[in-house]
Amino acid sequence: MRTNTIVIDRDALIEELLKDGIEVKKSRFSPDGGEISKIHPSIEAAGRAKFSSKDKRFYVQDEASQIIACLVAPKPGEIILDACAAPGGKTTQTAAMMKNQGKIWALDKSASRLKSIEQTARRLGAEIIKTKQADAEKSLEFEADSFDAILLDGPCSGLGVLRRTPDIKWRIKEGDLKELSGRQKRLLDNLARYLKKGGRIIYSVCTLEPEEMEDVIKGLLSNNAGFVMENAADFLPAPCKALVDSKGFLWTLPHGDGCGGFFAARLKKL
């Protein structure tokens, strides 16, 4: 889970949950994360009102996903685009990191998924999020050079989170990775124009397939001479720096890091 720092800090939340009979400890990497190991003797005894989907103190979110928002390193007052925002975990985390100061545009093609983001934002008190139904692969209703940062948590095979959704391996067909990689490249190429000079694009996927990771970044750099890679380690909390490889890419591995398999890169517009 992730502490909603808009309303409470992690130490205070853990103390409250322990009093409610919920065993929880600080997570390994995320500065706002917590790992629940046991609820006893039952959720009813702990009190459903104190531990439910309506609780504004926390949001259930994989730790790897939380690290991606840390890589954005948002600052209060910035204007940020979350290009494929649903379900809204990273969006609301970014708002909390910005201390509810600035603006975040959350895009998604699905109206129902946007409503889910809006509901989550209201529950958590993330007031700076504006939603818009749009396909980030196409021309957007924003001026060029509009955003300080753009987060693209791209559509992908999802093969990095098999432990959570094991049926994915039966749904991925031959040729899907090539199609997804092409779409990811088109998304990045389209979004690049909306980033301010000096701004950053963070690209992330919950997969460990090369076609969806480094190959996509190479495509952006070859098509856009005005971008350079940044070392992810320079922007992450100290415990996360070990997750960054020699090329500056962020990796999380389910078997070694205890969270979903994610890949992320941070690029700067010159």
DSSP 192-241: GGGEEEEEEEEEEES---GGGTHHHHHHHHHH-TTEEEE-GGGGS-GGGG
Q: How many CB atoms lie within 10 A of CB 169?
A: 11
What secondary structure does DSSP assign to 76-138, as a single string?
TT-EEEETT-TT-HHHHHHHHHTTT-SEEEEEES-HHHHHHHHHHHHHHT-TTEEEEE--TTS
- For position 160, what pLDDT does the model report? 47
Domains by residue range for the chain, with CATH: 2-59 (3.30.70), 63-269 (3.40.50.150)
Report the pLDDT value the prediction gives residue 162, as an integer from 0 to 100. 43
Residue 155, preceding bond cis, omega within 30 degrees? no
Strands 34-39 and 22-26: antiparallel
- Give the catalytic positions in this structure: 206
pLDDT number for residue 131: 98
Q: What is the pLDDT of residue 211?
A: 74
Which residues make Cβ contacts (< 8 Å) with residue 187, sequence separation at least 6?
A: 83, 84, 136, 137, 152, 154
Q: pLDDT digit of tens for each residue in the chain (270 aa)?
A: 999 999 999 999 999 998 888 889 999 999 999 998 876 555 545 444 455 667 899 999 989 999 999 999 999 999 999 999 999 999 999 999 999 999 999 999 999 999 999 999 999 999 999 999 999 999 999 999 999 999 998 776 555 444 455 555 546 666 676 677 778 888 999 999 999 999 999 998 887 777 777 888 888 898 888 999 999 999 999 999 999 999 999 998 876 666 678 899 999 999
pTM for the model stands at 0.89
Could you give the CA distance from residue 13 to residue 16 in angstroms, rounded to a whole number?
5
Q: DSSP letter for 244, please.
A: B
197 neighbors 269 (Cβ within 8 angstroms): yes
